Amino acid sequence: MWDRNQMAERAAQELQDGWCVNLGIGIPTLVSNYIPEGIEVTLQSENGMLGMGPFPISGEEDADLINAGKQTITELPQTAYFDSAESFGMIRGGKIAMAILGAMEVTENGDLANWMIPGKLVKGMGGAMDLVAGVGRVVVVMDHTNKHGVSKLLKECTLPLTGKSVVDRIITNLGVLDVVEGGLKIVEIADGVSEGELRAATEATIVK
Amino acid sequence: MKKVYGSAAEALEGVLFDGMFIASGGFGLCGIPELLLEAIKVAGTKELTFASNNAGVDDFGIGILLQTKQVKKMISSYVGENAEFMRQYLSGELELEFNPQGTLAERMRAGGCGIPGFYTKTGVGTVIADGKDHKDFNGETYIMEEGIVADLAIVKAWKADATGNLVFRKTARNFNPPAAMCGKICIVEVEEIVETGSLDPDAIHLPGIYVHRIFQGDHEKRIEQRTVREA
C-alpha cells in the first residue's frame, strides 16, 4: 500500500516535459517534490501565476506572492503574473495540460465530487469546477476508501458533482486506475496489495 | 478631470448608498482594498451585495463588514476562512451565491466589456447549471452565465499615475482588473501615486479609462498562511 508521499511520487510520473500543470491542495501539492529528473514542468497557480517556485525561506515572505492555497511562495526566472480572468482563460481554454487534484468520490464514468458535503459546512468550489472542465487531463489522487472503509470509487456519486465525466486517471493508496469505456481499468497495483484487495475496495465496475 | 483624492473617505464621498452592489478585487487577503473596506465600515452603508472571490477573515477584509452586519449577499467562489460568515449564512441572515472562480472572474470581465452573457463548460452537469440556458457548440454542452455590472468597484493596486493608469504587483493583481472593469464607478487604493509619465506605457496593467478615483494609503497587507521552507 502507498502512503501519501508514494502516491505523490506516483502522480509525478504523469508529468511530461514541457507541460503546464495545476496542482490542487493536499497530496497533489506534494507532487512538486517528485518531478522526475530531466522533466521540466511549469506550475500554474490559478490566482494568477505561471512558474510557481518553492516556499520562501523565513524572512523572505511576500504578502503579494501567494499560491491558490493562500500560502506564501516564491517566483522563478520564467515566472509570469496575470489577472484572474486571464488565469481562467488559459484553464478554460485548454492551455493547461493537466490538473492533479484530490477528491471525495469518483465514478466509473469519470464523474468527480470534491467540493460539498450537504449538511456540513460548505466552503465553496473555488476553481475546481473550472479546472476539471477546462484542462487537458484530470488526474485524481485520493485514498481508495474513506475512514469507514467504504469505497470512494463508485458507480454513482452520492455528493454534489464538481464535474461530469471529467476524470481520466485515479491514483489511490492501492493502485492506479483509468476511466475507460464501460468502467475503470486497473493500470497498476501498489506494492503489497493484491488484485483481489483492490477489487474488493472498489464499488465501481472494473473492466479488462 | 481630477482623479486623485486624499483618503478612502474622500474618494467614497457621494458614491455609497444602502442596497448597492459592490465588486471587490483580492484573492484571500492578497490584494484586497483594505482601506476602502474599512472606510465603508465607518460610513455604515447597509444591505450591501458583494461580488468578491472570498469574504476575508473575521477581523480583516470583507469580514469587518460582516461583523457590523452591513452585508446582505455575497457572490463568491470560496468562503472557508470566516467563522462569522458561516454563522450568518447558516442562520439565514446572509445570502450566498457560489460561482466557480473562473466564472466569477469572467462575469466581471464580460460585464465591464459590454458582454451581457457568455457560454462556458464550467459547471455543466452540476448544481451550478440548474436553471441556466444550455447550448451545444461543436458537439459539447455549455451553460450561459451573465456578465456582472456593479454600482461600485473597489480595487487595490501597487502604483498609479494621476490619470489612473495602474500597475499591480505579483499575485496581488488577481481579481482587481476584472473587478475594476465591471464597476460603473471604480475607486482604487494604491501604495504609491507616481508622477504621470514615470510608468512605462508598455507596462500598464490596467489603463486609467477604467479608473475614476484614486488615493494613496498605508497598507497592512496581512499574510493569511505564512509558509516557509528550511534555509
pLDDT, tens digit, for every residue of B85-101? 888 988 999 999 999 99
**CA–CA separation, B77 vs A68, rounded Å?**
12
CB contact under 8 A, A163 and B53: no
Q: List, in order, residues 6 or more apart from A112 with CB less than 8 Å away.
A: A103, A105, A106, A132, A138, A140, A157, A161, A162, A163, A166, A167
CB contact under 8 A, A66 and B225: yes
**CA–CA separation, A203 vs A154, rounded Å?**
5
Q: What is the per-residue pLDDT for A26?
A: 87
Identify residue A42 by its one-letter amino acid code.
T
Q: Nearest chain B Cα to A164, which residue? A: B125
Facing residue for B101 by CB, picked from A54, A126, A163? A126
Query: Of the candidates B177, B73, B107, which has an alpha carbon nearest to the alpha carbon of residue A82?
Result: B177
Q: What is the per-residue pLDDT for B10?
A: 98
Q: Which one-letter DSSP state was computed for residue B54?
A: -
Is pLDDT larger for residue A58 or for residue B231? Answer: A58
Residues 62 through 121 of chain A touching chain B, CB cutoff 8 Å: 62-67, 69-73, 75, 81-85, 87-89, 91-92, 111, 121
CB B12 within 8 A of CB B41: no
List chain A residues with CB under 8 Å of B205: 83
Task: List, edge to edge, every strand of the sheet that includes A42-45.
Answer: A75-81, A49-52, A42-45, A20-23, A98-101, A137-141, A169-171, A175-180, A183-189, A206-207
Query: Largest alpha-carbon pair distance within chain A?
Result: 54
Using the structure block, give the residue that is written with the C-alpha cell 472606510. B39
Please check the confidence at residue B147 and state whether its pLDDT lies above 80.
yes
Facing residue for A57 by CB, picked from B120, B124, B228? B228
Look at chain B and count its residues: 231
Question: A71 - beta bridge partners?
Answer: B225
Q: What is the per-residue pLDDT for A160?
A: 95
A156 is catalytic: no
**CA–CA separation, B211 vs B157, rounded Å?**
11
User: Hey, what's the cell of B141?
Assistant: 454542452
Please check the confidence at residue B1 and state whether its pLDDT lies above 80.
no
CB contact under 8 A, A133 and B86: no
Query: Of the candidates B192, B96, B109, which has an alpha carbon nearest to the alpha carbon of residue B147?
Result: B109
Facing residue for A63 by CB, picked from B101, B223, B229? B223
Using the structure block, give the residue that is written with the C-alpha cell 506534494. A30
Q: Name residues of chain A where pLDDT drops below 50.
A: none
Please check the confidence at residue B167 and state whether its pLDDT lies above 80.
yes
Facing residue for A64 by CB, picked from B104, B171, B229? B171
The terminus-to-terminus CA distance of chain B in angstroms comes to 51
Facing residue for B125 by CB, picked from A72, A134, A163? A163
CB contact under 8 A, B98 and A125: yes
**CA–CA separation, B16 vs B5, rounded Å?**
16
* Closest chain B C-alpha to A185 CA, distance in angstroms: 24
Q: Nearest chain A Cα to B108, which residue? A: A85
**CA–CA separation, B27 vs B24, rounded Å?**
10
* Closest chain A C-alpha to B212 CA, distance in angstroms: 20
Residues 137 through 166 of chain A touching chain B, CB cutoff 8 Å: 160-165
CB contact under 8 A, B28 and A70: yes
Query: Of the candidates A127, A86, A25, which has an alpha carbon nearest to the alpha carbon of residue B78?
Result: A127
CB contact under 8 A, A46 and B224: no
CB contact under 8 A, A56 and B169: no
- Cα B71 vs. chain centroid, distance in angstroms? 14
- For chain A, counts of helices (H) and of strands (E): 5, 13
Q: Identify the band that residue B2 occupies on the pLDDT scale cut at 50, 70 and 90.
A: very high
Q: What is the per-residue pLDDT for A118?
A: 85
**CA–CA separation, A66 vs B128, rounded Å?**
28
Q: Nearest chain B Cα to A66, which residue? A: B171
Report the percentage of chain B scoring pLDDT > 70. 100
Identify residue B15 by its one-letter amino acid code.
V
CB A47 within 8 A of CB A71: no
Q: Nearest chain B Cα to A122, which residue? A: B80
CB contact under 8 A, B126 and A71: no
Which whole-number Å values give the CA distances from A20 to A47, A94, A95, B183, B193, in the listed order? 15, 11, 8, 33, 36
Q: Identify the band that residue B81 occupies on the pLDDT scale cut at 50, 70 and 90.
A: confident
Query: Of the candidates B154, B60, B171, which has an alpha carbon nearest to the alpha carbon of residue A74?
Result: B171
Query: Of the candidates B77, B138, B72, which has an alpha carbon nearest to the alpha carbon of residue B107?
Result: B77
* Residue B102 phi, psi (nearest 5): -70, -30
* Closest chain B C-alpha to A204 CA, distance in angstroms: 20
* pTM listed for this prediction: 0.97
Q: Nearest chain B Cα to A55, which residue? A: B228
Q: Once rounded to an integer, what is the mean pLDDT over residues B152-161?
A: 98
Is pLDDT larger for residue A118 or for residue B102? Answer: B102
Identify residue A98 by its one-letter amino acid code.
M
